[in-house]
């Protein structure tokens, strides 16, 4: 899941970005509304986390513009403006959630994850492909009942592969969904992570390489 953070505070911005990345999100950062507009025009996001008071205006103008354009992109306002009138204004302009600074990262992560999945098809809390089980709420993966230790990035990639089980997922799709804008599309970050994930999952291999196309998660029981 990919998130755009709009925050100009030089101390807070990297902390928010780091916290969301550690929770498994791919995160891009914009320091003002102009930069945010540019990134929204060229990248696809699952959620926006925005401070209201930015160098070139109030983030409410961006939210209102998104809604006028027919966009349902979820927006969480993360701000020190905590008066009831401020929160009401946020919702009236089309914001989906409002979190006041200072905040707990556990709550921010939970709210962002809920917003990211709002427009996705409803699914069960657990996903199963063969002997592989992925528990979304607990962020746990088991194979044949054995609990596996995965990094946040490995979990994110496996989630995409399991949701598309049996289909080929391209490297570009994985980068778009699981990495941020600083990832070079021609780099080998995806291949390296897939290698790590294969080792975590153990034999027999579940992730197939489709030469020239990408990767596919397959159930060994379905193989000839």
pLDDT digits over 84-109, tens only?
Answer: 898 899 999 999 999 998 899 999 99
Mean pLDDT of the chain: 87
The total number of residues shown for the chain amounts to: 224
User: 45 and 12 in contact (C-beta within 8 Å)?
Assistant: no
Residue-wise pLDDT for 153-169, tens only, equals: 899 899 889 988 889 99
Task: Report which of 94, 91, 86 is spatially closest to residue 63, judged by C-alpha positions.
Answer: 94
Q: Quick one: pLDDT at residue 219? A: 66
Q: What does the domain layout of the chain look like in residue ranges? A: 2-116, 126-222
Q: Can you tell me whether residue 197 is helix, strand or coil?
A: helix
Mention every residue, 6+ apart, whose C-beta is less than 8 A from residue 117: 1
User: 223 and 214 in contact (C-beta within 8 Å)?
Assistant: no
The separation between the first and the last C-alpha atoms of the chain, rounded to the nearest angstrom, is: 34
| Fold of the 2-116 domain | Rossmann fold (3.40.50)
Q: What is the C-alpha to C-alpha distance for residues 222 and 133, in angstroms, rounded to an integer?
A: 17
The reported pTM is: 0.65
- The hierarchical CATH code for the domain 126-222 is 1.10.10.10
């Amino acid at each position: 899941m990919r998130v755009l953070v709009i925050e100009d505070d030089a101390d807070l911005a990297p902390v928010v970005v780091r916290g969301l990345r550690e929770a498994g999100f791919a995160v891009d950062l914009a320091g003002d509304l102009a930069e945010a507009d540019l990134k929204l025009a060229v990248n696809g996001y699952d959620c926006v986390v925005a401070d209201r008071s930015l160098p070139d205006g109030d983030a409410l103008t961006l939210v209102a513009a998104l809604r006028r354009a027919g966009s349902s992109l979820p927006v969480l306002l993360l701000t020190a403006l905590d008066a009831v009138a401020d929160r009401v204004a946020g919702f009236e302009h089309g914001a989906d959630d409002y979190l006041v600074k200072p905040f707990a990262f556990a709550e921010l992560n939970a709210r962002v994850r809920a917003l990211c999945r709002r427009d996705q098809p409803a699914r069960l809390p657990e996903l199963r492909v063969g002997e592989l089980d992925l528990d979304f709420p607990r962020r746990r993966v088991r194979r044949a009942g054995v609990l596996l230790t995965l990094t946040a990035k490995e979990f994110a990639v496996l989630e995409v592969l399991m949701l598309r089980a049996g289909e080929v997922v391209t490297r570009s799709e994985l980068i778009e969904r699981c990495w941020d804008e600083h990832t070079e599309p021609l780099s080998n970050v995806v291949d390296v992570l897939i290698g790590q994930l294969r080792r975590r999952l153990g034999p027999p291999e579940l992730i197939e390489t489709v030469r020239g196309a990408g990767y596919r998660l397959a159930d060994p029981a379905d193989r000839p």
